[in-house]
Amino acid sequence: MTTATPTVSPYTHAARRARTLAEVALDRYTTDPGIRDALVRIALHLDGAAYALEAVTPGADESSYTDATEELFHAEQIAVENPAARLPAELSSYVLAPLVDRALPLPAPLHPKSPDFADFTRREADLAHALHLLHSDHEHQAQRTDDWLRQVCKVWQQHTRLADEVRADNARAHRHP
């Protein structure tokens, strides 16, 4: 007797991704009450997106998950307005990946200006490479989605920290030519 592995709909898979990202947001440590509030609001919108995605019937067209995309839009807006939350601003790209065929986001170049920019450039390249490898690991994405998303978020968190360092260093370099 053989048992068939149940097939998970792409909407259910996307909902799982939204819930995992919500958990990541809630798991973030911060002593700043404003950032804590932002992380909670991001998680609530991601959870709302997950519920909306679970309500979509298989075979539905893109317009059927409008409620989910609205929730994702709000989560992304909060992430953009609160960079200290250290989450990728492109949350919807990661959630909706099972539904749409788009490349996953990579960070924009940081452009360090310091005479000692080599360390920043090396660290930036390492993080971009790590993210590229994670994005290319389709087996990991499919079989261990939660773990994969947590690793992606960790790399984005490291990149946003590096971006803060580069911004501060660029400001010092600008003041002292």
- Residues 115-152 have pLDDT tens digits of 677 889 999 999 999 999 999 999 999 899 999 999 99
Amino acid at the residue 11 = Y
What percentage of the chain carries pLDDT values higher than 70? 91
- Residues 9-43 have pLDDT tens digits of 899 999 999 999 999 999 999 999 999 999 999 99
Separation between Cα atoms, residue 82 and residue 49, nearest integer Å: 20
Helices of type H across the chain = 10-27, 33-54, 66-81, 91-96, 117-136, 138-143, 145-175
Contact 75, 46 (CB under 8 A): yes
Q: What would the two tokens of residue 98 be?
A: 């099972």
Neighbours of 133 (CB within 10 A): 12
Looking at residue 114, the DSSP 8-state letter turns out to be: S
Average pLDDT of the residues in 81-96: 94
Give me the pLDDT at residue 37, please.
97
Separation between Cα atoms, residue 17 and residue 49, nearest integer Å: 10
Please report, for the chain, the start and end positions of each structural domain, with discontinuous segments joined by +.
Answer: 1-101, 106-177
pTM of the model: 0.88
In the predicted structure, residue 1 carries a pLDDT above the cut 70: no
Cα separations in angstroms, 33 against 152, 154, 171? 25, 21, 27
Average pLDDT of the residues in 49-68: 85
